[in-house]
Amino acid sequence: MPETTTSSPAPVFTDAWVPESARAIVLVLHGGAEHGTAPLDGRSLSWRRGRALARHLAGVTAADGIGVMMLRYRVRGWNAGHGPLPSPVADARWALGDIARTHGLPVAVLGHSMGARTGVAVADHPSVRGVVALAPWLPPGDPVAPLTGKVLRAAHGRLDRITSARATRAYVARAGEVADAEFTDMGAVGHYLLRRVPLWNAYAAASVREVLDAPGHA
């Protein structure tokens, strides 16, 4: 699927790497900001970081029959509590619906920062087996109910000053009451997945497979 680089009034899959005999799909959700209604295009740094991760993942999971699809939201902000403004949650639900109609395969959601928060919010979709959350934005009070019966793998670096590793630990502890949830300390790294890139990539690939191959979800 060719890359789309112009602003779009709708969410869009900018890339899709899906083997002919795919058994599952990874939906990659990029980061963003707490507020913002500016349309996103190919210049978005959050989308570009997510795309680099998605491209790497596609290269190592294709042989295992796992496809990868990269979503770009309509706008950059989470925008909760601001009326009918566009939301990445609505965009991710659109993506999951499209994947279900087009492929009919189980899905692992891989999200960075706001993308991880979005992934957790849509984990109640019947196609979703679980969520892999990298440096996630998971504020206190965010519900864990969407993860009921699902798998959560969350990783955070101790030098992150954008989102909170402590909040992620607390969220994973709460999620453990309803889901198979684990936290991984990524060490002395920050938020943007720019240091120890091979470690982040390896964690993402291994965790996606854990989500898709978890007992009870064969």
Tell me whether strands 12-17 and 66-72 are parallel, antiparallel or unpaired.
antiparallel
DSSP letter for each residue of 69-106: EEEE-SBSB--TTSTT---HHHHHHHHHHHHHHHT---
Listed as ranges, residues in the chain with pLDDT below 50 are: 1-8, 218
CB burial of 143-171 (b: ≥16 within 10 Å; e: otherwise) equals: ebebbeebbbbbbbbeebeebbbebbeeb
- Given this model, what pLDDT does residue 215 score? 85
pTM for the whole structure: 0.94
- Given this model, what pLDDT does residue 85 score? 80
What distance in Å separates the CA atoms of residue 197 and residue 188, rounded to the nearest whole number? 13
- Residue 70's DSSP bridge partners are 15, 28
- Given this model, what pLDDT does residue 1 score? 39
- Given this model, what pLDDT does residue 84 score? 76
What distance in Å separates the CA atoms of residue 184 and residue 134, rounded to the nearest whole number? 10
CB distance 156 to 130 below 8 Å: no
pLDDT tens readout for residues 166-206: 999 999 999 999 999 999 999 999 999 999 999 999 999 99
Per domain, the residue ranges of the chain are 12-212
Residue positions counted in the chain: 218
- Assigned fold of 12-212: Rossmann fold (3.40.50)
Decide: helix, strand or coil at residue 14: strand
